[in-house]
Amino acid sequence: MLNQKKSLLLILFSLIIACSYAQQMNYSKEEPTDFMNSNGKIFVVMSVVVVIVIGLFIYLINLDRKISKIEKGETDKE
């Protein structure tokens, strides 16, 4: 349980750091590749990606807990 919390915090902080680096763009030059950034949509895209990834991790943690409960219940019966 403690290892899961540590790994979850590590992943969360890694995502926060990655998002902060994604926002450091050079605004002095205008290129067609900066379309998402020029409209401010890059922040929306990154927010959606972070929400999806966090949702997946929460789902996996809950699934792991349920599987652990089932495994413990089967070992008690034997």
Q: Per residue in 30-69, is it b (16+ CB within 10 Å) or e — as a string? A: eeeeeeebeeeebeeebeeeeeeeeeebeeeeeeeeeeee
Phi, psi (deg, nearest 5) at residue 48 = -65, -45
Band (pLDDT 50/70/90 cuts) for residue 78 is low
Instruction: List pLDDT tens digits, range 8-45.
Output: 777 877 777 776 665 555 555 555 556 666 677 778 88
Pick the residue with more confidence: 38 or 46?
A: 46
Where along the chain do its domains lie? Answer: 35-78
> In whole angstroms, what is the distance from residue 37 CA to residue 77 CA?
58
| Mean confidence (pLDDT) of the chain | 77
